[in-house]
Amino acid sequence: MTTLPHHDKKDNKTAAAEGLGLSPELLDLLAKFQEIEVEDFQMDVSEMELFFTPGIAGQMPTLKLPSALKAKPTAMLQAAFVPPVETYPDKIAEVKLGGTRSEGGTRGRSIVIGGETSPAFYTFERPIVHSPIVTLDVFDMEVPLSKAVKMHVKDVIGDPAAWAKLAVEKFGADMVTVHLISIDPLLKDATPKDAVKTVEEILQAVDVPLVIGGCGDPVKDADVFAEITETFKGERFLISSLTRDMNIDRCAKFVKQNGHAALSFTPMDLNLARELNRRLYDYLGKEDIVMDLTTAALGYGLDYAFTNMERARMAGLMGDVELAHPMSSGTTNAWAAREAWLKMSPEWEPRELRGPLWEVTTALTLLLAGVDLFMMMHPAAVKTLKEVTKNLVKGGKVDTAKFADWVSVKA
C-alpha cells in the first residue's frame, strides 16, 4: 500500500470536538485531524460485469380493485408468517490466523474467521459461526496521519511495537496489521532483515495474530514476505497481500511451506478474484486464503464494493468454491472520500464527527455484505463496529413495549 496524505496546512488549535461536551467513552476517540492516510486502492469497475435479471418490470400505478362487497371484518383475521429459511449447498471456508505455542508460534490465541453457512447475519436461518473481527493499522515509520488518529497514537509513532500494544490494549484490536512501508524502494528501501526485526519487536509486544502488510511493490514485497514467512514459521500470519502482478508460484509456495495464510487481492472484479484464487490453489488450501475484493469509500464506489461482496458471498454459499473464502476489507479507504476529511460549510460540521462516521458507515455497509475481517483506522469507528458486531452475534431480548414510546418521547 502507499500513503496518500491530504494536507491541510492550517493548524487550528480550537479542536471543535472539545467544545461538544461528548461523553469521554466514544468522543475521546473523535477528534480533529488535518492529514489523513489512505490505502491505495484500485478500482477497475469498467471490467466489472453486472448481472441483472431482465424482465421484472413494474412500478405501475396500482389498479383500483373492484370494491369488495364482502362485509368488513369485525375481528382480526389470522395469518401465519412462515420464516423464509433457506439452505445453501456450500459454506464459506474457515481460515485460522495466528499460531499458538503448541502450533509452533507464539500467539496467545488463534482467531478463526469465515465458516458462514448463511448470508451475513441471517440469524433467523442459522447462528453466526465466527464473529467478524477488526485489525488495526500500525506503521513501521512516520507516515502522514489524520490528526484525529494522530492524537491517539502520537506517542508511539516511530515505535511500531508500542503502537501495536496501544492498538490492542487501548483500542481493542483483535489483530494488528504491520504496514512495512519502509521497505518501499522509493522510500527507505529497508531490507528484508530490517522488516524481520520490526515484526520480531511486535511479536514481543503483543500476542494477537498479525497481518503482514507490504509496500505495494510486487517484487520487493515478495522478497520481504519470503524472509518473514520463513523466519516466523508457525506464527500463521495473514500475508497482505498477494496480487496478480506478483510471482504467484513463488509467493504461494513460501506462504504454504511456512504455514501462513494469504490475502488474495483483486481490483473489484469477481472473475479476476476467481482467477487469482485458482492460481493460489496450486499451492494453498481453501483454509489458507482470505480474499480482498477491494473496498471503495462511501460516496466513491461503495455501491460497487457492496454488490461485489454480496454477490461473492452468495455465490460462495451457492457452491462457487472459488469465491467461498472469508472476505477482508480495507475499510480505511473510507478516508479517500473528501467528505470524510474536508472542511465543509458549517451545516456539515464538525468533520471530527463526520469523518469517523464515514468510516463506520462504510464498515457497517460491508458488514452486511459479509466481510469477516476489517482493516480499520479510527478508534471510534473501531469501537462502534465492535459493539455492533457483538450485539449482532450475541442477540438478546427485544423490548417491544419500549418501542412504541418513540411516538411520544420528548426528545
Partner 1 sequence: MSKKAGIKELSPIDVYKLLPKTNCKECGQENCMAFATKIVNREITLDSCKPILKKENEKSYLKLKDMLKPAVKEVIVGVGEKAKKLGGKLVMYRHEFTYFNPTALTIDVTDEMPEQEIVSRIKRTENFSFEYIGYTLKLDMIAIRCTSGDAEKFKAVVKKVSEITNLPYILCTLNAAIAEAGLMAAPKANPLLYAANSENWKDMAELATMYHCPLVVSAPNDLNLLVSMVKTLTAYGVTDLVLDPGTFMNEGLGTTLNNFTMLRRAACKGGEELAGYPLIGVPMIAWVGKGEAADEIIKWKEAYLASMLVVRYADILVMHGNDGWALLPTAVLRQNIYTDPRKPVAVAPGLKVFGTPDENSPVLFTSNFALTYYTVASDIESNKINAYLIVVETEGSAIDSGVAGRKLTAERVADAIKASGVEDKVKHRKLIIPGKASRISGEIEELSGWKVQVGPRDSSEIPKYLIDKWQP
For residue 221, which of 256, 261, 267, 184 has the smallest C-alpha distance? 184
CB of 292 to partner 1, least distance (A): 14
CB of 71 to partner 1, least distance (A): 9
CB of 162 to partner 1, least distance (A): 29
Handedness of CA 160, 165, 168, 170 (dihedral sign): negative
- For partner 1, the closer of residues 161 and 268 by Cβ is 268
C-alpha span between 113 and 240 (Å, rounded): 16
CB of 270 to partner 1, least distance (A): 11
- For partner 1, the closer of residues 11 and 398 by Cβ is 398
- Using CB atoms within 10 Å of the CB of residue 71, give its burial: 0 to 12 exposed, 13 to 18 middle, 19+ buried: exposed
For residue 12, which of 143, 148, 144, 145 has the smallest C-alpha distance? 148
CB of 168 to partner 1, least distance (A): 24
- For partner 1, the closer of residues 102 and 400 by Cβ is 400
Cβ–Cβ < 8 Å for 48, 268: yes
- For partner 1, the closer of residues 44 and 155 by Cβ is 44
- For partner 1, the closer of residues 55 and 102 by Cβ is 55
- For partner 1, the closer of residues 116 and 288 by Cβ is 116
Q: In the numeric block, which cell numbers belong to residue 43?
A: 478500482
H/E run at residue 96: strand 94-97
For residue 320, which of 284, 379, 274, 365 has the smallest C-alpha distance? 274
Q: In the numeric block, which cell numbers belong to residue 385?
A: 463496529
C-alpha span between 299 and 297 (Å, rounded): 6
Cβ–Cβ < 8 Å for 235, 109: no
For residue 167, which of 107, 178, 40, 366 has the smallest C-alpha distance? 178
CB of 140 to partner 1, least distance (A): 21
- For partner 1, the closer of residues 11 and 25 by Cβ is 25
CB of 152 to partner 1, least distance (A): 17
Question: Judging by DSSP bridges, how do beta strands 111-114 and 94-97 pair with one another?
Answer: antiparallel
